[in-house]
Every structure is written in C-alpha cells, then in structure tokens.
Amino acid sequence: VAFQRLKLMPRVLRDVRHIDTSTTVLGQRIKTPVCIAPSAMQRMAHPDGELASTRAASATGACYILSTISTTSLEDVAAANGPDGLRWFQLYIFKDRDLTRSLVERAERAGFKALVLTVDTPILGNRQADLRNGFKLPSHLHLGNFAGGRHATGINEAGLSAYATELFDTNLTWQDVAWLKSISSLPVVVKGVLTPEDAVLACDVGCAGILVSNHGAR
C-alpha cells in the first residue's frame, strides 16, 4: 500500500552526463540505493557463491548483507568485498550464546558495519518444495562460518528445517535484542518486522533500523 502512493514521473531532454545515485544508509555512504539481501548457501548455485555476490556489490557500490549460513566464511567475504565495500552481517542467534558472540566479534574484526538480526523465523515454515526435494546442503559443501561439528555440517545431514530447530534459539524476545546490542558496538537492524507496533518496539530498544520482510512469504 505504501508503494502505491509513489509515482515515477519520467522527464525527457535532461542532461544526464553527470548523475549521482549515492545515498547513505545508517550514515554509511553507498553509490547506489541498493542493498543485497542475505541469501544462504550461494555456492549451491555457483562455485564462487558469496564471493561473486560481494564482488558485484563492491563494484557497483551497493551494500552487501552476508548470511550467517553462507557457504563462504565472513572473513573471505570481507576480503573479496574490499576495504571500501559496505557490508553488513545477517545474524541468527544460536542456542549456544558463546558461538553467537564469537560470530559477532568476528564480524566486527572483519569490517562489517552493522548486524542484521533475523527475527521472523523462530520456527521455519512448512516448505513443501524442500520436503518434496529432500533439500539438504550437498556433501561437498559446508557452512563456511563454522569450524566443524553440527553447526558446520548438520545441514548436510538433517536439512535446513531440522538444523534450524536444533541449533537456533527459537524463544527470542526483545530482551535478546537488547543483549545483542550490549555485546557489540555495531548498529543493530531487525529483519522481519511487519507491524507498526513492532517497529516502535525496535526503536524503544535502540535498534538502528528495521527491514520490512516476511522472509519471502516462507
């Protein structure tokens, strides 16, 4: 509904030799008003996976948001994004809070400029296509942000839904958002807000922004 209030009115015969599409997001300048949303396990689609995506974002001046469950480590993505690239880290809070804290600290050291906390999937939806296909991460791949164990390879064995149910904290509240803010100096953006009431609550706990999303209606 909000977008229906906006209209594009193209003009003609304008001098467009010198244009500026840059803007700022959370006070951080990008060349184009585009942020690439976090998308998991990209090496399933192409061998370069997240590396190709972050290089493209850097080349075009867009903000790149890396998924926690990427198939490339956040350190490798940061190196490919370059010193001038704007990158944010999408975070799931795990039941293992020490592991969660470690991910946050690594993101800070790697030059990520914001944490994007996904809050709309305490329980994954009934993804019929995944069930029919028996979706799992292929055995030649693993989740790049984890050194080993269930966090790295559990998704190969059990599939995404079982992985998330076993390892993600499914009982998050606004107090957990406050906890995340307390362990990091990075701005926190809450991803998955759909109501004005929750947007206000995000402001109340000091979030820097929200992403209006229903996780692809999943």
Mean predicted confidence (pLDDT) in 42-63: 97
Range with lowest mean pLDDT among 117-121, 147-151, 198-202: 147-151
Span 163-191, pLDDT tens digits = 887 888 999 999 999 999 999 999 999 99
pLDDT score, position 195:
96
* Torsion angle of the four alpha carbons 24, 28, 34, 37, in this order, in degrees rounded to the nearest 10: -140
Return the percentage of the chain with pLDDT > 90, whole number. 73
**Model confidence at 162: pLDDT above 80:** no
SS3 call for 28: strand
Residue 82 CB burial class (10 angstroms; 0-12, 13-18, ≥19)? middle
Q: Which domains does the chain have, with CATH numbers?
A: 25-212 (3.20.20.70)
pTM of the model: 0.91
Pair 144, 48: CB distance under 8 Å? no
| Per-residue CA distances from 130 to 8, 43, 154, 161, 186 (Å) | 38, 17, 16, 9, 34
pLDDT score, position 96:
95
Backbone angles phi, psi at 156, to 5 degrees: -70, -35
Task: Please give the mean pLDDT across all residues of the chain.
Answer: 92
pLDDT score, position 102:
97
Mean predicted confidence (pLDDT) in 68-85: 97
Range with lowest mean pLDDT among 60-69, 122-131, 200-209: 122-131
Kindly indicate the confidence band of residue 218, based on its pLDDT and cuts at 50, 70 and 90. Answer: low
CB atoms within 10 A of CB 64: 28
Our measurement of the distance from residue 198's CA atom to the centroid of its chain's CA atoms, rounded to an integer in Å, reads 19
pLDDT score, position 130:
75
Q: Catalytic residue numbers?
A: 215
Range with lowest mean pLDDT among 12-16, 142-146, 154-158, 210-214: 154-158
